[in-house]
Amino acid sequence: MNYLSTRGDATPRRFCDILLEGLAPDGGLYLPEHYPHVDSTMLTHWRNLYAQHGYATLAFEILSLYIDDIPAADLKAICETTYTPEVFGTLEIVPLKSLQPKFYLEGLSNGPTLAFKDMAMQLLGNLFEYELGRRGEQLNILGATSGDTGSAAEYAMRGKQGIRVFMLSPHGRMSAFQQAQMFSLQDPNIHNIAIEGVFDDCQDIVKAVSNDLGFKRRHKIGTVNSINWARLLAQVVYYFAGYFQATRSNAEQVSFAVPSGNFGNICAGHVARMMGLPIRQLVLATNENDVLDEFFRTGVYRVRGSADTHETSSPSMDISKASNFERFVFDLLGRDGARTKALFEDGVAKQGQFDLSQDPAFAQARERFGFVSGKSTHADRLATIRDVYEKFDVMIDTHTADGVKVAREHAQPGEPMIVLETALPIKFAATIVEALGREPDRPPKFDGIEALPRRVRVMPADADGIKRLVVQECG
């Protein structure tokens, strides 16, 4: 399997090359040359394997279709090391919880940092360590987080040989628990930088540094954001796992509802659907930062500046420039790299938007690719958290509440709707208290985490300053 760039660079690259590279040299994102097709016979085989041998075996089967430059025995061992009950706290890894007939939550937040990002980041850490060991190289990971990517990356990479992490986050905009999870880490290979700005400023810095090819190669810069294909690929697995748990035969269709900020989580669902997983609808849920909902309603993709990015009670989705969206646009336009490049370089970068409302391709977003969308507000969040708790005795976090609210608007009678749970409620305790009048449960290992000493530096939103820091820390 070779990989190409969404902006037209078709130089054949293998999985392990793009694993360590992040963005393509032309500024695009990597995708496989084609999506492997999974027919009903293969789905049945995987359904049986999953039932008999569990999540790690299913992960190996799916990853093997995309990774052919790691020996099968090694890849299988990496999957088995990653997806264990010891790491994820449950034998099922991603258990399905029925709220009512045909309406489910898929539990993705059982990992070390209590968020769905662990599902991919734990695998990514093990893949990085394996490949760097094979090459005898080191890697400086530069990442941006709106809340959960940062802690998931740091917990996956702490103590890993040959890896340093430089994680940018928006100063003061994450929940107290999210900040404590990251900033309390004292590992010497972990560097937390709080940027004076919003998440999009952090993400822009990561892209600016990654697009300086000379600096990137001299200092071995890699990424853990969902612009890294390996991370998105790992997320494809739990769509299959959710489907197998919710259905009894491959004749059944399901829909998935996904809280969406940077488009990575739902883009993995798009890949699963392109592979042949029987998904009828991919239901995208945004918060007040509704750039993606606006596109799927109108065909206009209009990014917002820092001043117009709302600070909300589902802060991991406070994003106004969705990096992974480019992958979907590339597929929507028939994999036209030149046109995709023009939309993002000329449209987004220079004009702040592009408009596909009059393009025949826009109708395909719903008709061919199954995307629908909706928006949730703080009031919706509170009402949904209360309703789910009162009716089902289940406490959900703010982002999952956004997903449940929009899922209910698109659910079809008799068809399974699976809402991807994105984090445990303790990560957003203040809003849970506002909604329910009580503190959410806290895993014992996180008792007193907010009071621990912190290791973080505050810096302006300046790519050159971050480059100087990387050089300084790398010696």
| Domains along the chain with CATH numbers | 96-113+230-436 (3.40.50.1100)
- Distance (Å) of CA 273 to CA 205, 219, 255, 420: 32, 37, 10, 16
Cα atoms in the Cβ-side hemisphere of radius 13 Å centred on 115: 26
Q: Are strands 30-32 and 3-5 parallel, antiparallel or unpaired?
A: antiparallel
Taking residue 249's Cβ as centre, other Cβ atoms within 10 Å add up to 10
Element (H, E) at 55: helix 55-64
Among 426, 432, 463, 430, which residue's Cα sits nearest to residue 151? 426
Active-site residue (options: 76, 97, 102, 117): 117
Distance CA 168, CA 450 (A): 19
Phi/psi of residue 88, nearest 5 degrees: -110, 5
Q: Are the beta carbons of 153 and 139 closer than 8 angstroms?
A: no
Active site residue 445: no
CA atoms of 431 and 384, how far apart (whole Å): 12
Given the structure tokens 């090694």, which residue do they identify? 74
State how far the Cα of 280 lies from the Cα of 234, in Å rounded to an integer.
21
Tell me the pLDDT of the chain (475 aa) as tens digits: 999 999 999 999 999 999 988 789 999 999 999 999 999 999 999 999 999 999 999 999 999 999 999 999 999 999 999 999 999 999 999 999 999 999 999 999 999 999 999 999 999 999 999 999 999 999 999 999 987 889 999 999 998 888 999 999 999 999 999 999 999 999 999 999 999 999 999 999 999 998 899 999 999 998 887 789 999 999 999 999 999 999 999 999 999 999 999 999 999 999 999 999 999 999 999 999 999 999 999 999 999 988 899 999 999 899 999 989 999 999 999 999 999 999 999 999 999 999 999 999 999 999 999 999 999 999 999 999 999 999 999 999 999 999 999 999 999 999 999 999 999 999 999 999 999 999 999 888 889 999 999 999 999 999 999 999 999 998 6
β-sheet bridge partners, residue 141: 165, 222
**d(C-alpha 392, C-alpha 394), whole Å:** 5
Tell me whether strands 417-420 and 163-170 are parallel, antiparallel or unpaired: unpaired
Residue pair 160/125 in contact (Cβ under 8 Å)? The answer is yes
User: What is the rounded distance in angstroms from the CA atom of residue 387 to the CA atom of residue 436?
Assistant: 10
Distance CA 290, CA 268 (A): 20
- The CA-based angle 204-183-441, given to 5 degrees, is 110
